[in-house]
Amino acid sequence: SLLRPELGAYSPASNLSQNDVIRARQRAGEPIVNLGFGQSPFPIPQPAVDSLRQHAADGRYLPACGIPELRQAVSEFHRRLDQLDPDIFTPDGVVCGPGSKELIFLIMTVFRGTVYIGAPSWTTYRPQTLLSGRSCVTLGLSAADSWKITPEIIGANLTGDPAGCWSWPTRITLRDSSELAALAEFLRRERFIVVSDEIYARLNFSLSHRSLARLYPEGCIVTSGLSKWAGAGGWRLGYALFPRPLESFRRAVASAATHTYSCCAAPVQHAALALLGNPEETAKHSNRSARILAALARHCERRLTEAGAVVAPAGGGFYLLPDFEVAREGLRRLLGSASKEPTGAAMCERILSDIGVALMPAGPAFLRPESELTVRLCFVEFDGAAALQAVRELELEEADNSAPLPDDFAAKYCEPTYSAVVRLADWLRSVQQA
């Protein structure tokens, strides 16, 4: 074989592969509500669109780490919104790339040591350790504890090698402050290098993100980008902020950038500058988005919990990981597999067939057992532009623009996700009675 032996079972990103299949079926006319893919429903803010159009003819190679104005804007953006120390996280410590996914891969590639990843995990972290030749320790987490990474869980799995910890943004960036402080102290004591993936930071439902890099700045690399809060996933603009004590690490990643992607597209860099260079307006847009997502998350959590699912409340972003274990016996009868354990994948196929709702099983792709009946539910299928306009109109009458939206907001402005979750809860009840 021409492949490295450890890549024999290597496969494409499962979330992208499933989304391609579902979209093809939708184009063929199937009435499917896709709650399995994390594409932002909100439009890209107009200043960025205007800037992209203005600079569309700029086809130059630009600096591999980003134009100086953009790196300055990234540094200032996170100083103002996340209170990162400007003496530690400077413009010179910023590396821009074609998506934070590429930068995370380069960080893994130049890193010497063991990578620790919480499970469930974003579907790309583990495959990137294989591609980069890194050894990986999987940290099994629990829905009952809201999928939190704790010092105890990491400590029970230490190998003694130089260590890096990759954090999925549904956990570390959304923790209680005392828990976050205890985790930071543990990581400092054990001399971890942490990649804090804060791509959803601007969509924190409390509207007040607390970065791990505030508590452990010397050992924390922050990654983020435009794909989630700005709705610009296809533009491929991400960045990493390296602290001054990790300057040699940054130089290695910057060198790797020159040998791989060369630079981000010039028009996209200017468009990103239009967003990141205006943090106050950016915060207004992302806060409105977060309020909408919080209202829809409350609906999903309430409906599914009432139907018997175990649901760790979301603190931000647009995902839930509900556990449908309560459906196991009924599902076994429905599938006609009295002697065979139902799998998450089989359950998701049945849900798609029965009610036309696509979910993603949180099995091996998320580093969970194949038999686990946990799914990833992305509550993003709705008209984000209309929902944002509705929030703007509400703000004219509100005394507090940070308060939860009215209880009926999701029903009015978040279809078809709202109804799809109602059908999903009804399906879960019916399976338990099968």
Residue spans of the domains in the chain: they are 5-43+282-433, 58-278
119-142 confidence digits (pLDDT tens): 888 888 999 999 999 989 999 888
Lowest model confidence (mean pLDDT) among 43-52, 182-191, 330-339: 330-339
Which pLDDT score is estimated for 175?
54
Beta-bridged to residue 140, according to DSSP, are: 119
Contact in structure between 26 and 43 (CB atoms under 8 Å): no
**Looking at the predicted structure, is the pLDDT value of residue 336 above 90?**
no
**Looking at the predicted structure, is the pLDDT value of residue 399 above 90?**
no
DSSP SS3 for 95? strand
What whole-number distance in Å separates Cα of residue 391 and Cα of residue 414?
Answer: 12
Same fold, 5-43+282-433 and 58-278: no
Q: What phi and psi values does residue 88 have, to the nearest 5 degrees?
A: -105, -40
Position with higher pLDDT, 2 vs 24 = 24
Position with higher pLDDT, 159 vs 404 = 404
Q: Which residues contact 387 (CB under 8 A, 6 or more apart)?
A: 41, 42, 292, 413, 414
Q: Which residues contact 212 (CB under 8 A, 6 or more apart)?
A: 167, 172, 173, 180, 183, 184, 194, 196, 220
Per-residue pLDDT band for 393 (boundaries 50, 70, 90) equals very high
Give the angle 202-141-147 at the CA atoms, nearest 5°.
Answer: 30
Q: Which amino acid is at 73?
A: A
Percent of the chain with pLDDT over 90: 76
Residue 399 DSSP code: S
Other C-beta atoms lying within 10 Å of the C-beta of residue 302: 14
What fold characterizes domain 5-43+282-433?
A: Aspartate Aminotransferase, domain 1 (3.90.1150)
Peptide bond into 120 cis (omega under 30): yes
Which pLDDT score is estimated for 146?
81
Which pLDDT score is estimated for 392?
96
Contact in structure between 416 and 33 (CB atoms under 8 Å): yes
Longest dimension (CA), the chain: 66
Which pLDDT score is estimated for 164?
62
What whole-number distance in Å separates Cα of residue 81 and Cα of residue 202?
Answer: 9
- The residue behind tokens 């006609």 is 336
- Of 188-192, 368-372, 425-429, where does the model show the most confidence? 425-429
Contact in structure between 338 and 13 (CB atoms under 8 Å): no
What whole-number distance in Å separates Cα of residue 408 and Cα of residue 387?
Answer: 12
Mean pLDDT of 35-55: 95
Q: What phi and psi values does residue 382 have, to the nearest 5 degrees?
A: -165, 170
Percent of the chain with pLDDT over 70: 95
Position with higher pLDDT, 10 vs 417 = 417
What fold characterizes domain 58-278?
A: Aspartate Aminotransferase; domain 2 (3.40.640)
In the structure encoding, which two tokens stand for residue 213, read together? Answer: 């890099």
User: Strand 94-97's sheet: what is its strand order?
Assistant: 94-97, 238-241, 220-225, 193-197, 163-167, 114-119, 135-140
What whole-number distance in Å separates Cα of residue 313 and Cα of residue 214?
Answer: 24
Q: What is the pTM of this model?
A: 0.92
Which pLDDT score is estimated for 14?
75
What whole-number distance in Å separates Cα of residue 123 and Cα of residue 19?
Answer: 13
**Looking at the predicted structure, is the pLDDT value of residue 71 above 90?**
yes
